[in-house]
Amino acid sequence: MRVADAQELAAAAQIDPTLYSFESKKHEALCLLANGQSWHVFLSERGQRYDEQVFSNADDACVSFLKRLFQLSR
């Protein structure tokens, strides 16, 4: 899965776009960011990263991100 696929799924599910970010660290949101060869999924709150997971490929990061996003949006 590519990041573009995850973006499309989040949009299709009509999840509030203020709850997540794919491009930058957004405060008070779930973030999916590339950093060199690794991918980071974390909750950003008050300038801090919480429950951060690091992945070696975009596929695993996107799957984890979407699972967490759907749980947050319930």
To the question of pTM greater than 0.75 for the whole model, the response is yes
**Whole-Å CA distances, 13 to 2, 62, 72:** 17, 15, 13
Tens digits of residue pLDDT in 17-54: 999 999 877 889 999 999 999 999 999 998 899 999 99
**Domain ranges, ordered by start, for the chain:** 3-72
Residue 6: CB atoms within 10 A of its CB come to 21
